[in-house]
Amino acid sequence: MRLLLAEDNPVNQQVAVLLLRKQGHSVDVAGDGREAVDAVRDTPIPYDLVLMDVQMPEMDGLEATAAIRALPGDRRRVIIIAMTANAMQGDSDICLKAGMNDYIAKPVTPDKLASVLANWSQRAAPALPLPPEPPPTNPTDEALPLFDEEARAELRDALDEDGLRELERVFLDHAPDQMRAIADTRDPAQLATLAHSVKGGSANLGLTAVRAAALALEQAARAQAPAAELDRRVADLADRFAQTVAALERNFV
């Protein structure tokens, strides 16, 4: 199929593009919702399907979907699949009411991606995937391994060792900037946005400890937690990030 991926996180982009091309699809990438609307409107060959991240800068996935549905002609009827890390009860209804056709929860695995695309390649509406259990309130209070070896083995099988190393390098190139931005702010809204991005990239690479710490910080920031709690969560994320980076860097020695 000819696909458009709308995703702002560089790691998530690389994961999805490599998986999609490995499965035989043609993929273009839009870095935010506005670019996605422009791509659907202006492409000389219409897309079969759009994979739309929900939380993006400039224009989010829900707004982009509404704009696409308002386009003239057949372009507005393109299949749109929502992708979001906020996989909580009710999110699927929000996506469907916004005009999306289906919903896939991040992190996107090879099997999950292949299944939803196979269903829609036949233009048959699949059942919505069940959202995962809500995360614990303090997901980093217990010791966690640095890596989800099962998830990383699945990625390695899908992309081969070189593909996994490429994704790790993208993460190592971009995540430090996000971590510096987290260290430099205590604005809850900014912290939540930055932590959400780190969470998404780390989840797609099976970086268990970083994902859990980023999730805890995102939850605390969205709950307007006291400054001391935010400081603790930021420090915990920085510590787990440093441990994970050190382990990943050893792969490139």
Rounded Cα gap, residues 38 and 67, in angstroms: 10
Q: Report pLDDT for 140.
A: 47
Residue-level pLDDT at 136: 43
CATH at 62: 3.40.50.2300
Both tokens of residue 8?
């702002």
pLDDT at 88: 55
Residues 24 and 108 in one domain: yes
Kindly state whether residues 25 and 101 are assigned to the same domain: yes
pLDDT given for residue 133 in this prediction: 39
Task: Assess whether 94 and 27 both reside in one domain.
Answer: yes
Per-residue confidence in pLDDT tens, the chain, 253 aa: 899 999 998 888 888 898 898 888 999 999 999 999 999 999 888 999 999 998 888 899 999 999 999 998 889 999 999 987 665 556 777 888 889 998 888 788 888 888 888 888 876 333 334 344 344 444 444 567 899 988 888 888 888 888 888 888 888 888 889 899 999 998 998 999 899 888 888 888 899 999 999 999 999 998 999 999 999 999 999 999 999 999 988 876 5
164 in the same domain as 117: no
Q: pTM of the full predicted structure?
A: 0.68
Same domain? 110 vs 34: yes
Half-sphere exposure of 128 (CA within 13 A, CB side): 21
Q: What is the pLDDT of residue 173?
A: 87
Per-residue confidence (pLDDT) for residue 109, from 0 to 100: 82
8 and 100 in a common domain: yes
Domain presence at residue 126: no
Question: What is the distance between the alpha carbons of residues 22 and 164, in angstroms, rounded to a whole number?
Answer: 13
* Closest to 15 in 3D by CA, of 227, 27, 247, 61: 27
155 in any annotated domain:
yes
**Separation CA 170–CA 69 (nearest Å):** 33
Q: 234: buried, middle or exposed (CB in 10 Å: 19+, 13-18, 0-12)?
A: buried
Give me the CATH number covering residue 186.
Answer: 1.20.120
Please check whether residues 34 and 108 belong to one and the same domain: yes
Are residues 6 and 114 both part of a single domain?
A: yes
DSSP-assigned states of every residue in the chain: -EEEEE---HHHHHHHHHHHHHTT-EEEEESSHHHHHHHHHH-SS--SEEEEESS-SSS-HHHHHHHHHTSSGGGGG-EEEEEES---TTHHHHHHHTT-SEEEESSPPHHHHHHHHHHHHTT-PPPPPPPPPPPPSSTTSS---S--HHHHHHHHHHHHHHHHHHHHHHHHHHHHHHHHHHHT---HHHHHHHHHHHHHHHHHTT-HHHHHHHHHHHHHHHTT--HHHHHHHHHHHHHHHHHHHHHHHGGG-
**Is residue 169 included in any domain, yes or no?**
yes
133 lies in some domain: no
Would you state the structure tokens that stand for residue 150, as one six-digit string?
């099962």
pLDDT of residue 110: 84
Place of tokens 């400890």: 209
Q: Which domain holds residue 90?
A: 2-121
144 located within any domain: no
Which residue, 104, 121, 138, sits at the end of a domain? 121
Q: Does residue 132 lie within any of the structural domains?
A: no
**Residue at 137 is within a domain:** no
Number of domains in the chain: 2
Q: Are residues 7 and 102 in the same domain?
A: yes
Residues 23 and 114 in one domain: yes
